[in-house]
Amino acid sequence: QVQLVESGGGLVQPGGSLRLSCAASGMIFSIQVMGWYRQAPGKQRELVASILSGGNISYADSVKGRFTISRDNAKNTVDLQMNSLKPEDTAVYYCNAVLRRFPLSPSRDYWGQGTQVTVSS
C-alpha cells in the first residue's frame, strides 16, 4: 500500500503565499518523479511542477517565477512554495508520484486526495 498525504491548502488573498507539502509512505522502493497537478472547476487536470529524483525540475509556464518545487528524497516528500498567488491559481492541487514499490516492479502513478487552494479577496 502506498499513500500520498497532502497538507497546506487554504484561502489566501491575491498576492499572498501558501506552501503545500506531500509525504509518500508505504512500501516504496524508489520514486522517479514527484510533482503537483491542479484542476480548476470545469477544466482538465494540468501539471504545475515536477521534480525528478536527480533534481531536474519542470514548471508550467503560468507559474514560472512564482512557484518553487522542492523534494527530500530521504523523506519521500515534495513541497510547493506558491508566491504572488493569483485568482486563476484557484484549484484543487494534487500530489503525484511515479514510483516502484519493489525492485523489479514497473513504475506507476500514485495520487494524493487533493487539497483546495482558493485565491480570493
**Per-residue pLDDT, 78:** 98
**Per-residue pLDDT, 27:** 95
Phi-psi region of 113 (alpha: psi -120 to 50; beta: other; left: phi over 0): alpha
pLDDT band at 60 (very low <50, low <70, confident <90, very high): very high
Provide the mean pLDDT of the chain: 97
Rg (CA), the chain: 14
- Choose among 81, 25, 72: nearest CA to 53: 72
Q: Are 22 and 38 in contact (CB under 8 A)?
A: no
pLDDT single digits (tens) 99-109: 999 999 999 99
